[in-house]
A and B are shown apart, each in its own frame.
Chain A
Amino acid sequence: MKKSLILIFTILFNTFCFSQNKTGLIIYDIKYPNENKNANTVETRMYFNDTISASIAFSTKFYKNTKEGIEQDGEGLRVNFKYGDEKGEIIHRNFKKENITLRFPKTTAFDEFTVEDTWLKIDWKIQEDTTKIGNFNCKKAIGEFRDRTFIVWFTEEIPMPYGPWKLYGLPGLILQAEDKEKMFSVKFKSIEYPTSQVFEVNKPIEKEAKTLKDYVFAMDNYQDFLLEKLRAKMPREMASSLTKMPSKKDTNRTYKVEKIFEWEK
């Protein structure tokens, strides 16, 4: 009787609801690959609750002064570009539904848009090395994602499979990450759980939703899209000084974090 009762309970309790939906906030400093060796460190805020994490960067809500340029932020640095709006650039992951949605603010070349990215499982190989980041004991793991090899440090003391950017899926929070070529790097800045701040748990929606393939194409040819738009606005007198062709395309995606996509293999 007891056995059947347990069985009935497990069958009946189909609805998936998590208790304790508190929100946490982790702040990372992320450096993306760039032709300028030492540029583009972006402070990224990752909000999370039990099942959803939303990584937000370039949001004017957090940086009142979006003057183009670089400002000091405490003892760190914050890069502010005219790029960005209130919502910012979002990487929204729903671990329950296993989907990942990206949202990009308006740029000179494109209006706001969202992209449904593919939920790829990263095959992490956990190493024996340990280190301490802040007060957390961390273990090392190595994994490959879209043709880049990432070396990360994660802590089981924060037992969520979350991580910065699109890195996730370890038995603990990823605090630090770097790729083998040292072009992409993430440094952990702070964590606060629970936090009084709220974040949008629903996945972002914009007028335009690009497919992943369209998005990759747009980023590969961004300089061209941008040049298109800018050229069309230049006054007549500039015509004679337009002498350079757009710079060579980065067809090997040397300066992109994601080098090869699933359909390109």
Chain B
Amino acid sequence: MPATFAQKAIARAAGLEAVEVGQVVDVRPDRVLSHDNTAPISQTYAKFGQDFIPNPDRLVITLDHAAPPPTPAHAKNHTDIRKFVAHHGIEHFFEVGRGICHQVHSEEALILPGQMILGSDSHTPHFGWLGAFGAGIGRSEVAALWATEELWLRVPETVQITLTGHLSPYVTAKDVSLHLIGSVGADGALYQAVEFTGAGLRSLSIDSRMVLPNMMAEFGAKSAFLPPDELVFNYLAPRLARRTGMSITAAQAAVRENVLQPDAGATYSAHYEINLSAIEPLIAVPHQVDNVKPISEINNVKVDQAVIGTCTNGRLEDLAAAANIVRGKRINPSTRFIIVPASSEVMQDATNLGYVADLINAGAIFGPPGCGPCMGNHLGVLGPEEVCISSANRNFRGRMGEPSAFVYLGSPEVVAASALTGQITDPREVMA
């Protein structure tokens, strides 16, 4: 039977020849992800009465959500995690300032095409950009995985999305994601996996590709997949070689070793075709991600704060686009322009390439690499009835602070243009 990527990846992780949609199987993921929530997970783990962790090499832990810590309680949370990491000899641990877990594990080539990563973070489908199976799970499930190395998964149906054409200037993968979520709904892929395909995909950079599976969390998807190609292998191989010390030749082989591609003739529960050439800049209006409107319909929305960052849009390409828009100009004095790079590598590269200087000269404020204000912990939370335009992934009521605040979502280009004018602005207008 022709199989989808999700079927093949779950079969591999379950040690089975093949699996059927709807089947519930026990899988053994290659990596188990956690972040600032590692402290409560370790408390759950302690209840199992097993003082060692089998194969601690599976664990990948990053301090990113409230980092550096804004309060003593958050600081203790990190202290508890460091003790746990030292006690169990966790090798793949990333300190405050290294960046957001999904970005860091990608940069470190800690997960490879065809492998499976499960994590207590809802944006774990992110790793589909490189052809891996990523899915979010709960904290207790991570504790159980640490202990028993296996967890039940239901084999999902798959939604297929074909991309054709090319993106227009100042239109991005974020707009493509918002188009899909807005037109189908936030539960468009509920309990299902998503597979992207089509010639349009090949035209997207690595940074742009990362946006698509990341945003599929807001589409209800369990996991999302992009077929890996040479661009992906050539991103991962030198990074794998750097981290492990293996030769580049060995790394080039290793990144291709477990590649899984869906079979022609596999069964899909739904199919959508998106012509990239026809997409316009879009905005998700408060307080739902599927409340999507063309930017031309958003008039006179004044913004108190503009944020570029997060696992969705805090990468080098995003900072480059923002720098290009604000270079030589000054932002609106009544708008705070906050930029939080997704990783220390992004920050370093953006500094070397002059983007950081361009942005600071225009009036931007830089936060340390990490999740930033995305989920209301620190570094730019919103006050009563404040309005924010953000390159993040969620605009839920109260997400960034006060429940009376308003969060609009758009591309980094839209955020940068809006910082300049002080109201939500089409980047094509300021660049005309």
> Do the two chains belong together in a single complex?
no
User: Interface on B for A, CB 8 Å cutoff?
Assistant: none
